[in-house]
Structure 1
């Protein structure tokens, strides 16, 4: 298995913050579903399909950049690292400030995947990717007689700014795969799945606490209304409606909006909880 980490991050955030599932896609759940999918396509038992190698490639901020970006960035990266390590996924990182163009990590993934395919002779390679940059990799693997399974997602949503965001996998990449799998379709119909497929999908989503919740934070179920009092360098303050004291928040608390879209006086709604240094807004959104 080879993960385009930037692609996986985009997909996981969508299902956590935009989709009705409101949960993180589980790495373990993905592995279980891939084993099931290949077994069903080949007509063999899932127990006979094992993941022998798994590699995750991504560009990553330095420690200092992570601190400047948001307080939870380092925590979230460490949590994902723990998950990948537990699932025996080997991580490969390029620092963002040296990575250059986005294709840098794509090239590294493609070269390593092809090199391992040639020397280790895998039975099948699974790509969690959607970029056209991987078309040549899929073609080369097909020329070696090695089946390729590609997991892709199609989704779109309206951001708080009114801009439509989303992703769609390269159709040419899907065409090169022996087993193209549109996971967005699988997920949308997963509640009606039966038998072995239902069992394979049972671990696909998991709910994970935020850093604030992980250190014992509790927050009310009701969203409260306030206005942005100040924003700067990845954090800001909210003036709650009818209150005198401002409430601190990090950009990582934002739901369905970008930090650079906020401005002083903007109306927001928030969930109050306990942060690292006391009361804080643990979730902030622009729509009341």
Structure 2
């Protein structure tokens, strides 16, 4: 449903943190961009893209009013036991600064450090519950779900059942990350992000897309 052109369209961006950093590290260390994703520029790009499909390019009416990031985090004791604890703490601080500068709220869950190898525990459930709660109580028009996991398909269906459209950015990075086709089929909108970055498809917001890597 296209919103009234005189109404603000409210967008929430939800990050599966492990997936996001896998993508960002790929573009920093493997891709020829040699740069992490700039979250503020990414949000600006998403606003323009959603404006084009939802409000006939009236960008001023499309605002990202909230952004949330979900990820597991190791305890200080576990970090101190690593070969290079300072490097891990610096990495954590760098990631926190990236989120802070972009106005993204971080939600961390304790890692299951008893597992071998250690694994995230409860992050997916927390992401799904918090996202649904946000939509129900704050009435977002669009949720951008930055994940690749098919396990979030029921969440997409649930959000759309209450009238919130879901956009899933699609990535296909061999040996790094790939967005589930099932997830893309469930979402109201998808955005072929890795193809856009590699100029495999046309994009009228090319300058904004380039800014994501500055």
Q: Where on the TM-score scale, by shorter chain, does this alignment land: which range?
A: 0.7 to 0.9
Cα distance in 2 for partners of 1:128, 1:27 equals: 12
- CA contact 1:56–1:92 (8 Å) conserved in 2: yes
Counterpart of 1:39 in 2: which secondary structure? helix
Cα distance in 1 for partners of 2:62, 2:202 equals: 25
| Residue aligning to 1:127 | 145
Task: Give runs of aligned pairs for residues 109-258 of structure 1, distance below 5 A.
Answer: 109-156=127-174, 165-189=175-199, 193-194=203-204, 197-206=205-214
Encode CA deviations 1:4-25: one digit per residue, 9 max, x unaligned.
0000011011111111111111
Structure 2 residue ranges without an equivalent (≥5): 1-12
| Residue aligning to 1:240 | none
| Residue aligning to 2:102 | 87
- CA contact 1:110–1:134 (8 Å) conserved in 2: yes
1:2 aligns with 2:14: yes
Larger Rg: 1
Encode CA deviations 1:117-170: one digit per residue, 9 max, x unaligned.
1111111111100101110000001111210011121111xxxxxxxx222111
Cα distance in 1 for partners of 2:200, 2:192 equals: 12
By percentage of residues, which structure has more helix?
A: 2
Q: Pick closer, same or farther for the CA change 1:34–1:24 going to 2, 3 Å.
A: same
Q: What is the CA-CA distance between 1:36 and the residue it aligns to? A: 1.1
By percentage of residues, which structure has more strand?
A: 1
- CA contact 1:125–1:149 (8 Å) conserved in 2: yes
Task: Give runs of aligned pairs for residues 89-104 of structure 1, distance below 5 A.
Answer: 89-97=104-112, 102=120, 104=122
Encode CA deviations 1:92-134: one digit per residue, 9 max, x unaligned.
0012136976462111101110111111111111110010111
1:61 aligns with 2:74: yes
Structure 1 residue ranges without an equivalent (≥5): 157-164, 207-288
Cα distance in 2 for partners of 1:190, 1:33 equals: 17
Q: What is the CA-CA distance between 1:201 and the residue it aligns to? A: 1.3
Q: What is the CA-CA distance between 1:199 and the residue it aligns to? A: 3.0
Q: What is the CA-CA distance between 1:202 and the residue it aligns to? A: 3.2
- CA contact 1:190–1:201 (8 Å) conserved in 2: no
Counterpart of 2:71 in 1: which secondary structure? strand
- CA contact 1:59–1:99 (8 Å) conserved in 2: no
**Number of residue equivalences:** 196
> RMSD value over aligned CA atoms?
2.1
Cα distance in 2 for partners of 1:118, 1:171 equals: 26
Q: Pick closer, same or farther for the CA change 1:99–1:15 going to 2, 3 Å.
A: farther
Cα distance in 1 for partners of 2:33, 2:148 equals: 22
- CA contact 1:57–1:109 (8 Å) conserved in 2: yes
